[in-house]
Structure 1
Amino acid sequence: MDTNSAIAALSALSQSTRLAIFRLLVRHEPDGLPAGDVARHLDMPQNTISTHLAILTRAGLLSAQRHSRQIVYRACLSRLRELMLFLVKDCCAGSPELCAPLIATLSSCCPSPESCS
């Protein structure tokens, strides 16, 4: 992940509704949720949710797949993993062993990058 991609992802998550959407979709992995269900879970109008879903999708944090008349959104866990690893890549002032448990957990907890296409 490069700096601009990290900034785009962090910017997308820096708004409370988008953060709530992303966390909701993480809880509903691997099946995801249709946009209407996301709106119902968060008790918000669907057009408002659609705007936020689009921003998260452009940032690479969500994937969308059409199923008949519905669009099902899924959290891109591999992208989240890339973002977290980017944030801690150079941590601990030259003592990477301090961050090794965190990096190992992040490396093993989420699917491979190919999982969110």
Structure 2
Amino acid sequence: MDTDAALAALSALAHPTRLDAFRRLVRAEPAGLSTGQLVAASGLGQSTLSSHLAVLVAAGLVTPEKRGRQMIQRADIERLRALMLFLARDCCNGSADLCEPLIADLACC
């Protein structure tokens, strides 16, 4: 991931509604959630949530899939992985032992 892509992803996640929706989608992988499920969980109107989803889609963090009459939203886990690696790549000046607690925290959850 390059700097521009990382900034686009971070910018998209820098809003409480979008961050909440993305985290819900990450938890729902690999099945994803319908747009209706996300609307119900958010308490927002369909058009408002759709605008937020469009920002996440433009940043490459969410992929919509048409399934029958429903639009299923899925988190792009590979894009999340790339963002996390971008942020942690130079962690602790190459001292892997200093990053072990971070890795352990991710493994436990």
Q: List aligned pairs for 1:3-18, cutoff 5 A.
A: 3-18=3-18
Compared CA separation, residues 90 and 59, structure 1 to 2 (3 A): same
Per-residue displacement from partner, 1:43-70 (whole Å, max 9, x unpaired)?
Answer: 1101111011111011011111111222
Corresponding position of 1:115: none
CA RMSD for the aligned pairs?
1.9
Q: % of aligned pairs identical?
A: 53
TM-score normalised over the length of structure 1 = 0.82
Q: List aligned pairs for 1:1-117, cutoff 5 A.
A: 1-99=1-99, 102=102
Unaligned runs of 5+ in 2: none
- Secondary structure at the counterpart of residue 29 of structure 2: coil
The one-letter code of the counterpart of 1:52 is H
Unaligned runs of 5+ in 1: 109-117
TM-score normalised over the length of structure 2 = 0.87
